[in-house]
Chain A
């Protein structure tokens, strides 16, 4: 009789433990998904902002057609990507092109005088930062989640309920560095 009780107690304890682990894994997975959607929001924001900037700048930069075309092409490319890795690579490419555009813009003092363009540029710089931060958060959460999936008791639950590891949002190159504006050393 006692054996039955003890084994019943053990089963009960184990199932409670299992439920806890399962719930934690679900929470983590949802955090990862939420972070992914955050990246998406920011990417969308950038996607919407770029045509405005290109249109505003075009008039000033008659000689830099190539730079603008590169930006537009890179923007179009981001839509065609389907896999996470491809998407990351396409977005990285767009970031790079934008960096080039900002660098070229530095050489046009007329642009600095245009309040509207400065505003657009600030919005884009901010969006670039947000993308980088959202990505950073996503990758941190993915790392967290992946560790959980591989750690001992969790790995059992994970394989039973087929939790799958999320992919890092990275294309290999790091692009957290923003174009550094050269500022006069004192205000």
Chain B
């Protein structure tokens, strides 16, 4: 490892050439299939093999090579621009205090790295928490941070994250991932877009197929993007900022909250500081996981960093209390990396974040840290309800009144119209992926919840469990006359 960044030579990475070869191979196979199909079906030549003729083979090879080189150079030279457009990143606002802080931090990193390379910073206007670095063959380099991350990290932590991304750029490994993302990753969202179009317009189908193949290849590319580089970037960040604790805290926050799917599109995860999609491979180890994942387990990264800082992991948990954590003293909520690795990943049905184990009234439940929804086994609900002494705030009370009144009304309507099928949005069970059915907790307590009849679990949206408890404790009944109300409708 070089002593300073002035020593870091810009290495021409072998992997970039590999990417080009992969692309050429892909186009070659694609062209071969097309040519063979054309020959077989158009000219009705029964057993004609295209590459049997040297002339055809040469034409295809030349054609494919030009196409691949053009595609590669376009992707390579416009990677920054394309990724920025895709995540809708913008320049920091000079009027904004926090954005100005980000600009200052980038300047500091320039100083720390010896001004070897100019890096621009940008802001991604989403609430999710993530950061990405992208660079291209033109030499432009950008670090983009989401608004969510900007506002939820302290200055030191933000500095550590920026240093981590800057190391990716300075050490040169960002170039290969950027080109890979630009070549293949970008098409993942194009596939989603075209799926809708192709249902109406059949002309979109070939494009859909091509894009689908490209994005699938993209996920193959993740195979040779090594997880090691994340460890290296963490180490590099620590060398720049000399503050391993701040980076550990930042990673912990990013992993404990919502790292954000849907906003940072699929196919760009290799550019991000922590993987935005929840994937079982990311959080476990083994050769297969190493192959299929772009990021090492956050748990392990944090452990390494804490080792550098000589701090134990419990410090982080005590520092970072979640917003409404209902914790028993002495039984701290185990967070993402604290839990056992073998546990299956459970994903929040409404916002796709990872659910974390939490103990509520001495019982284990799963909470989503971003929308505060709660997943509870059915047989545990009475326990929680019986044990928990919830403080009914005015806000909660008002909410309960409004919701029960509203639900009473809709129940009355439903009964009158004899179970007319409502076109409601349904959510999928986090455990078995089947549709959950939306129902009332009971007809006495009109709080709507989602139940899975297979796994016997219940999903409470934000505040629903609290409302239910409030309702039971205060014995609030609906105050609207049913009969009169229905007539209005």
Q: Which residues of A contact B (CB under 8 A)?
A: 31, 35, 38, 42, 115, 118-119, 122-123, 125-126, 129-130, 133-134, 136-137, 140-141, 143-144, 176, 178, 180-181, 183, 185-187
Contact = CB atoms under 8 A, between A and B. Distances in A.
Contacts of B323: 186
A130 B107 contact: yes
Contacts of B322: 186
Contacts of B100: 119, 122
Contacts of A133: 108-109, 111-112, 240
Contacts of A35: 114
B3 interface: yes
Given A119-B97, A123-B104, A186-B323, A140 B159 contact: no
Nearest to B7: A144
Given A38-B115, A122-B104, A186-B323, A136 B242 contact: yes
B272 to A, nearest CB: 20
Contacts, number: 66
A144 B6 CA distance: 11
Nearest to A140: B4
Contacts of A186: 152, 320-323
Nearest to A123: B104
Interface string B301-325: 0000000000000000001111100
A136 B112 contact: yes
Nearest to B98: A122
B155 interface: yes
B101 interface: yes
A76 B115 CA distance: 29
A133 B5 CA distance: 12
Contacts of A181: 154-155
Interface of B: 3-4, 6-7, 97, 100-101, 104-105, 107-109, 111-115, 151-152, 154-156, 159, 240, 242, 319-323
A31 B6 contact: yes
CB-based closest 8 A-B pairs: A133-B112, A126-B104, A187-B152, A133-B111, A130-B111, A129-B108, A183-B154, A140-B4
Nearest to A174: B242
B3 A140 contact: yes
A123 B101 CA distance: 8
Contacts of B104: 122-123, 126
24 contacts: A31-B6, A38-B114, A42-B111, A115-B97, A119-B100, A122-B97, A125-B155, A129-B159, A130-B107, A130-B111, A134-B112, A136-B112, A136-B242, A137-B4, A140-B4, A143-B3, A144-B4, A178-B156, A185-B321, A186-B321, A186-B322, A186-B323, A187-B151, A187-B152
Contacts of A183: 154
Given A129-B159, A186-B152, 8 more contacts: A38-B115, A42-B111, A122-B97, A136-B242, A140-B3, A181-B154, A186-B321, A187-B152
B105 A126 contact: yes
Contacts of B115: 38
Most chain A beta carbons < 10 A, residue from B4, B107, B115, B319: B4
Contacts of B155: 125, 181
A126 B97 contact: no
